[in-house]
Amino acid sequence: MIAVIDYDTGNLKSVSKALEAVGAKVEVTNDPRLIGRAEVLVLPGVGAFYRGMENLKRLNLLPSIFEAVKEGKPLLGICLGLQLLFTESEEHGTCQGLDIIKGKVKKFQGKMKIPHMGWNQIRIQKSDDPQMRVPRRQTTRKCGCPEGRDQIFKGIPDGSYFYFVHSYYVVPDDKNVIAATTEYGIEFTSAIAKDNIFAVQFHPEKSGELGLKILENFLNVS
């Protein structure tokens, strides 16, 4: 069973419908016990970083998420769900995140229109990229190993377009976790993969057939 974590941040229905469209059995829940029993977790979300963290704390969902990550259960983060995985955000001063992925969440600067909204390309970091230094190894935490990354992007041409809506972007401390990048005034990280975690800044549930393909590939790797 896949638990789509409900922490009052929207887009739950579209995410769950997209997962069901690729054959997943989905429960939308804020019950820590059900989250603890799930085989796969999905952390979606739109809106403010600080509000997302407040809601996770208020609903007592942090222990279940941390335990699932510790146990090696696959976790998919989408949009705000990607950002919350990081150490801290610039939003509202400095706001502490889950600190599962070391790094910061920063706001777009410059003359580009904010939020970054609409279709944009991703550049996939494949396992044979000379800049990647992630060791090949056999692991039950498949998303972040090179073979797992390649499988997640199987059938996704480099330069494919996905749908974005965001004003902030993630900056991981460890560049090896970067799975894809996108250009919007600057080059920013649009997908990360580490151990049992895969997360994207774009919305696969709003990205047509290629978005569904990403979700299907994630479930196959998981």
Enumerate the active-site residues: 79, 203, 205
Is residue 21 within 8 Å of residue 207, measured between CB atoms?
A: no
In the chain, which ranges are E strands? 2-5, 26-29, 40-43, 75-78, 86-89, 95-96, 101-107, 116-121, 123-124, 161-166, 168-172, 178-184, 186-194, 197-200
Report in angstroms the alpha-carbon separations of 42 from 10, 14, 113, 164, 171: 13, 13, 29, 18, 21
With H, G, I as helix, E, B as strand and everything else as coil, classify residue 40: strand
Question: CA neighbours within 13 Å on the CB side: how many for 35?
Answer: 25
Tokens matching residue 42: 């999905």
